[in-house]
Chain A
Amino acid sequence: MYKILVVDDEPQIVRVIQGFLIKMGFEVAEATGGEEAIELLRSDIKIDLMIVDLKMPKISGIGVLSEMNKLNRKQPTIILTGSIDTSKYLKELKDFGYTIKDILHKPVDLFALLDLVKNKLQIA
């Protein structure tokens, strides 16, 4: 069973996505904010995929990705952002090897999210 880390500073968003993914048969780890996410990433917990918000207080999504890079964690990542203007993050995201295709905009159709998750995990 794949384990997905959901990172968002809004607990209600974490709850919705968590609920959906569990329903779809995934195991979910949750982090409400960048610090929690980094904590989990530093632990030896197994994560197959991460869904991360960009704009978060204290440590942003970029901060989380940066830390993940340092930790040499290579799991696929989906960026789920509330801000529609991603141009200002695009360059940094590209530096970490992400493209527009790795970005989803809130409010997202949960099934579209599912498609991308399956795609990333190469599940048929």
Chain B
Amino acid sequence: MSKELNEKIKFLQGRINELERKLLERKQIKERLEASEVRFRRLFESAQDGILILDANTGQIVEVNPLLIEMLGYSREEFLGKKLWDISFIKDIASSKAIFLELQTKGYVRYEDLPLQTKDGRKIEVEFVSNTYVVNHEKVIQCNIRDITERKRAEEELGKYKGHLEELVKERTAKLELEITERAQTEGALRESEIRLYTVLETIQEGITLSDEAGHFYIYNSAMEKLTGYSREEANVCSDFINLLYPDPEEQQRALQGITELFESGTSRETEMRMLTKDGQLKCILIWSSLTLYGGRRMFLSAYRDITERKQAEETLRKLSSAVRQTADVVIITNKDGVVEYVNPAFEKVTGYTKRETVGQTPRILKSGKHDQSFYEILWKTVLSGNFFHDILINKKKNGELYYALKTITPIKDEAGNITHFVSVDKDITERKEMEKRERLAQLGELVADMAHEVNNPLMIISGNAQISLMEEIQNENVKENLKIIFDECRRAKDIIQRLLKFSRPSRGELREIDINKSIEAVVGIVEHQFELSSIEIIRDYTKDLPIISVDEQQMAEVFMNLLNNSKDAMPKGGVITISTSLAGNFLKIDFKDTGWGMENEVMGRIFEPFFTTKEKGTGLGLSVCYGIIRAHNGELKFKSELHKGTVATILLPLGEDR
């Protein structure tokens, strides 16, 4: 029994447990349901969509959430119990019924944009989604209504904006296209500019380089390659290009110093350098270099100009111009009208005229008057026809002295062959002319000396015989007179020969130390009275205490006598002779100055020639003898004369060793 009971109890107990568990379960479910209900209600009330619950059979509104109330402006009471089409928020009853019917049959509708009207008549757009489901065995319809007015507006705006955007994009695209075109054009222009620059760089005859501090070349044009013989690659590969171009340590030093200075000063500089080219030529280069910014870096921009030829030309010019400047020959350059444009220092030295006095004048300032008009006419005719003129001219210096000029005048022509200038080169050959004269006189002297002996012997025989004959008894007076004449003329002939010899082969006889003033005075004493009778006054202007000199006093007296007589003969109506003595350097100077008629240049040139005379009864030997005597004393005899004013004869006798 118990067993059975126990089993029964056990069964019952089990049942109770089961019921309790089920009860608990149910309670739990209820709790869960309640919780769910709350949760859903909350959701329902706080949902962001308007929600409407309809009885699926009747279409009566069973529930409405607050959002829909707010959305449409109808109160909860106005919704509840009404049918969907009773409330006129959907456009019309027909469409409301149509929607309801569709719902009833399909169980689901969806309108993307359903126009609704709020209670206060506002039109709003909604998204309308409905579906049917069963709650507590009853079919209900839930309508979710979402106000999409904002969205629609936004969408519209978006749409509008999209259009605007499209417009913008179009605009932008157009702009971009324009820009692209422009850029293409700019690029084309840039490219063209680049080509232009390249052409310039490659055409220019100067070497152009752009290099950085490390010596790398960014620009190194063809002219530079041609100049140095090195290509840009060779220049860049070489570690010490400067050393290669300037192997001379001094030049290299200068090149490096130039770079340093360029850095310090920051300005450009110009230097002349001697550069060794690849093929071993030494070229003279003028380098202009400057610091420049290129791509944000400091670079050297250099231009190399080959001035080797210019330097050589300059050197040639310099040589030529120094030659003209330094030559002892007188150089005159005139324009084609004969106006002097240039004279060299030798001109100044020879003529005594300064460059300033001469430029702008014509060479006529040198005219001596010793050539006639036809001489100058021939000169001009020759040079104007393009030929050179070569002859000896006698010109006059500024101080009035004449000089012999061995002159060549050459026309200078331009490329077209037109005469633009004349260049006159002449040598002062006065010295040579005088030498020639001296030589001629010396030769003449030799001849005379040889001749003298040959003539004197016959003269001796003639005069001796005449003398012996005269010692005889001669009755005929005529014969006697004839013999006397023979004798006298022999003596005259002898005299002439003697004097001729004194001139041609002068010899100082016995030298005596004399006071020159006393020697002159001795001669003056002899002639003074006679001169006074011819209305000639002698003025003495002796310098006292002159050095004693050694001369052949007798010969010197002959010179003084000759000069005094010449002066007298030049003053037939009287005048003044001034005799002055003085020291002139290493010479003793004696001047005989008269106020006579002077001498013409032509006469002056010949006064020392033997047998040349202007006097009716002159032998033409007086001055020749004087000349010979003074030469024998290593002195000089000079004349200065002006027509109608007078003549000055100057004797210079050396003092000391030279005697």
Binding site for B on A (CB under 8 A): 10, 12-13, 16-17, 19-20, 23, 55, 82-85, 87, 100, 105-111
Contact = CB atoms under 8 A, between A and B. Distances in A.
Contacts of A109: 463, 467, 491
Contacts of B507: 85, 87
B498 A107 contact: no
B490 interface: yes
A13 B463 CA distance: 10
B457 A10 contact: yes
B453 A13 contact: no
Given A55-B453, A84-B497, A107 B505 contact: no
A106 B505 contact: no
A105 B493 CA distance: 12
Interface of B: 449, 452-454, 456-457, 459-465, 467-468, 471, 490-491, 493-494, 497-498, 501, 505, 507, 509-510
Given A23-B471, A107-B494, A82 B460 contact: yes
A107 B491 contact: yes
Most central of A12, A106, A107, A111 by chain B CB within 10 Å: A107
A106 B491 contact: no
Contact of B468 (A20, A84, A105): A20
Contacts of B509: 100
A85 B459 CA distance: 16
Contacts of B468: 16, 19-20, 23, 110
Q: Which 5 A-B pairs have the closest CB atoms?
A: A16-B464, A82-B456, A106-B460, A107-B459, A87-B507
A57 B461 CA distance: 19
A38 B462 CA distance: 28
Nearest to B502: A84
B452 A83 contact: yes
B494 to A, nearest CB: 5
Nearest to A53: B457
B456 A83 contact: yes
A20 B449 CA distance: 28
A16 B470 CA distance: 13
A84 B501 contact: yes
A12 B460 CA distance: 9
Contacts of A87: 505, 507
A107 B461 CA distance: 8
Contacts of B471: 20, 23
Given A107-B456, A107-B490, A107-B494, A85 B464 contact: no
A82 B463 CA distance: 13
Contacts of B460: 13, 16, 82, 106-108
Contacts of A12: 461
B578 to A, nearest CB: 35
B505 A85 contact: yes
A10 to B, nearest CB: 5
A117 B501 CA distance: 27
Given A85-B501, A85-B507, A106-B457, A13 B464 contact: yes
Given A100-B509, A107-B490, A109-B491, A82 B464 contact: no
7 contacts: A13-B457, A20-B467, A82-B457, A85-B505, A105-B456, A107-B491, A110-B468
Given A16-B468, A23-B471, A85 B461 contact: no
Contacts of A84: 449, 452, 456, 497-498, 501
Contacts of A82: 452-454, 456-457, 460
Nearest to B454: A82
A82 B498 CA distance: 11
Contact of A10 (B452, B461, B490, B498): B461
Contacts of A20: 464, 467-468, 471
B467 A13 contact: no
Given A105-B498, A107-B491, 12 more contacts: A10-B457, A23-B471, A82-B456, A83-B452, A83-B453, A84-B452, A84-B498, A85-B449, A85-B505, A106-B459, A109-B463, A110-B464
A102 B368 CA distance: 53
